[in-house]
Structure 1
Amino acid sequence: MNVKYPGRDTGSTVQLGLTNRTGSGFRSKYPYLYGHLSMKVKLVGNNSAGTVTSYYMASVYKKWCELDFEFLGNVSGQPYILQTNVFALGEGNREQRIFLWFDPTADFHDYGILWNQNLILFLVDNRVIRVFHNSKDLGIPYLEYQPMYIYSSIWNGESWATRGGRVKTDWSQQPFLASYTAFNVSNACVVKSVTNSTRWSSSHNCYRQLYRSPYGRAPNLNLTQTQIDDLRWIQKGFVIYDYCTDLKRFKGVAPPECARNWP
């Protein structure tokens, strides 16, 4: 992985830092297409207002695909907000925000993505917090054929990250440090070439690997009852914003995929 400093690479753990001069980040050497990917993250402690710690997947095409975990810093003693987002062929605006039900600064927690031909799951400590179904039949683009790199970074988002930008970064608290470990892509398909001439063959190879793996077969093609219960628990107690319920934003009509993505 390529690490930009300030920060430390301790071998098994990468620490990224933010100061008033620079942020930092890293990217996986290769992109991935389908499967299960995860990483453990320990977020910035104490007063992290204005900071954004991100962990996301993104392709490199003009009409790109992207899956985001963005952790929005807080004032000491207040819960962290996790914002997720989905971009398919360059179309995003699918933000969801939740309060985390634990202190993500006290220890490492596992954040993962399960991605197959039917659905995408956002996972926190193996609990489903969000689902995005394949709704191509409704005219909604899905994330397929485009392998995505894994990125992590920490940066200054004080213009919007904490209370809509009303709370700014307290630079007397710098450096702001986040730690990453247990990078796990053992159940994901790596694509070592993303040129136009090899793109389709790589995609088909990953399709074949997906179908042979448990992540491309039942029960992972549909939500289990436990996953449905997890989603209902999250939506009832922790969701603070969901684009699907922001009818003012969409002129009174929720986007067509929303009914499928709520259990």
Structure 2
Amino acid sequence: MAFSVISVFFLLLGEIFAAENDDIAFDKKYEFIWGNDHILSLNQGRELQLTLDNRSGCKFASYLNYSSGFFHMRMKIPGNNNTAGVVTSFYLMSKASASQHDELDFEFLGNIEGQQITLQTNVFVNGVGDREQRINLWFDPAGNFHDYKIIWNPHQVVFFIDDTPIRVFKNYTNYGVPYPTQPMRIEAALWTADWATFGHKINWTYAPFVAHCQGFDISGCSAQNSDVEECYSSNHWWNNMEYWNLNSTQQKAYENVRKKYMNYDYCDDKAKYPSGLPRECVIQKNGRLHNGQKY
């Protein structure tokens, strides 16, 4: 699938950040959390190799928490023939307890030999998740590095692969829909989950499973150094009006992904919600708002 018709501005922006990412060492922005002996620093700290085996996986996280921003990680996930049960994740998470936390997830769910790798995204607000969307990727995420990005501002959360938007979660608080507002830090991990690949457990004969990460620069408003109002101000480029909604080209690319590659959307899962779909799903399906704009 070709996505060459992306706004010139966003392409230039991506090139600028790619150049910056090459110059930022991991330890300037991030620290190891667990599985330290399963993380190898390469290229003077500008790339990490993450390993999962039957002893341990690993995780790292940003030193700081952020209240808005543009967050991204260049990743190449494990490429063994069978990665069932292997989860490679890049996400934002607040410090609150599991019952109250906010979280924005990219999760690669591994694959059974011969099948595609599924990318799942999820949004938690005040401890409530179950907002999964899943897509079959149009490329091999184990073959090359790709840039996984999240823009989070007071108006919307947008998940991107490279420059293609794959998910939009709008701020519908005026309609009674909770929206993530808690300060969050950036995390990435390589770990196991039996639920990830149709219930198939990990086959350790294919271990070790190896992922790589690059791009450790962070463009975010630090919650430690700023109050919430400052993090929502137009002093930060990601809060400017042009990032309140997708532009027309991005909207077309987003709709194309949903049409061709999405295989699960919680907003279509009526069996999961017998008493009625979540409010944000109803708002979108009824057309009360389209891309954040009133009809």
SS at match of 1:232: helix
Q: How far does residue 77 in structure 1 lie from its aligned partner after superposition?
A: 3.5
Per-residue CA deviation, residues 128-156 of structure 1 (Å, 9 max, x unaligned), is 00000001122111112x21011111111
For 1:219, the aligned partner's letter is E
Per-residue CA deviation, residues 189-227 of structure 1 (Å, 9 max, x unaligned), is 12336xxxxxxx62223123xx12332122211121112
SS at match of 2:253: helix
Looking at structure 1, the residues matched to 223 and 213 of structure 2 have their Cα atoms a distance apart, in angstroms, of 23
Per-residue CA deviation, residues 48-82 of structure 1 (Å, 9 max, x unaligned), is 11101111100112321100011011123422101
Write out the 4+ residue segments of structure 1 that deviate beyond 4 Å after TM superposition. 259-263
Matched, 1:156 2:202: no
Q: How far does residue 235 in structure 1 lie from its aligned partner after superposition?
A: 1.1
CA contact (8 A) 1:5 1:16 kept: no
- Give the stretch that moved more between structures: 242-251 or 215-224: 215-224
Q: How far does residue 230 in structure 1 lie from its aligned partner after superposition?
A: 1.6
Matched, 1:12 2:49: no
Which residue of structure 1 aligns with residue 56 of structure 2? 22
Q: How far does residue 252 in structure 1 lie from its aligned partner after superposition?
A: 5.7
Looking at structure 2, the residues matched to 169 and 72 of structure 1 have their Cα atoms a distance apart, in angstroms, of 11
Instruction: Report the identity percentage.
Output: 41
Measured on the aligned residues, the alpha-carbon RMSD in Å equals: 1.6
Q: How far does residue 229 in structure 1 lie from its aligned partner after superposition?
A: 0.9
For 1:136, the aligned partner's letter is T
CA contact (8 A) 1:7 1:177 kept: no
Distance change >3 Å, CA 261–CA 212, structure 1 → 2 = farther
- Give the stretch that moved more between structures: 246-255 or 174-183: 246-255
Please report the TM-score for the alignment, with normalisation by the length of structure 1.
Answer: 0.89
Looking at structure 1, the residues matched to 86 and 137 of structure 2 have their Cα atoms a distance apart, in angstroms, of 16
Looking at structure 1, the residues matched to 65 and 254 of structure 2 have their Cα atoms a distance apart, in angstroms, of 28
Matched, 1:147 2:183: yes
Which residue of structure 2 aligns with residue 110 of structure 1? 147
Per-residue CA deviation, residues 107-165 of structure 1 (Å, 9 max, x unaligned), is 10000000111100001012100000001122111112x210111111111x2111x21
Which residue of structure 2 aligns with residue 132 of structure 1? 169
Looking at structure 2, the residues matched to 261 and 189 of structure 1 have their Cα atoms a distance apart, in angstroms, of 29
Q: How far does residue 183 in structure 1 lie from its aligned partner after superposition?
A: 2.1
For 2:131, the aligned partner's letter is R
Matched, 1:227 2:250: yes
SS at match of 1:105: coil
Q: How far does residue 259 in structure 1 lie from its aligned partner after superposition?
A: 4.5
Q: How many pairs does the alignment contain?
A: 249
Per-residue CA deviation, residues 214-248 of structure 1 (Å, 9 max, x unaligned), is 32122211121112112211111111111000001
